[in-house]
Amino acid sequence: MRLGVVPGESVSFSKTLTETDLVLFAGITGDFDPIHVDEAYARTTPLGRRIAHGALVLGLCSTVAAMIAKRARDGGAEGVALSLGYDRVRFIAPVYPGETLTATYTVGTVDEAAARTVSPVEVRKEDGTLALAATHVMKWVPR
């Protein structure tokens, strides 16, 4: 099956995490851990202030996965791209409200016979610090 992507292809997406993002994410997921929502508590921790939810940061990887899937469709993919998940997710550096993050997806291995790609994804802070690294597995299913 033709997947419509080639190794080395890359897309990026940038977003500044706002107070609203943290509050909405806490409400959607029910994760009200004080390290995310209570500034007074967070100041007493080694981090010194609130941090974004790791799953919120990982959510930016979903954005770039969708962008690469769209590129595949535009490039003539014969199937529908579905995420099989993220392997080896690592939260490397804390992310603070107000920081701008850039998620980057780079197509890794392309196995057209298995209709699958395995690709590195990363999220970097505006100063270049790596905040998150993972491997994404995408499967193309027939239309």
pLDDT tens string, the chain, 143 residues long: the values are: 788 899 999 999 999 999 999 999 999 999 999 999 999 999 999 999 999 999 999 999 999 999 999 999 998 888 899 999 999 999 999 999 999 999 999 999 999 999 999 999 999 999 999 999 999 999 999 98
| Amino acid residing at 80 | V
pTM greater than the 0.75 cutoff: yes
Question: How does strand 116-125 pair with strand 109-111?
Answer: antiparallel
Q: How far apart are CA 43 and CA 5, in angstroms?
A: 45
Short-list 94, 91, 25, CA closest to 58: 91
For domain 10-17+52-142, the CATH architecture is Roll (3.10)
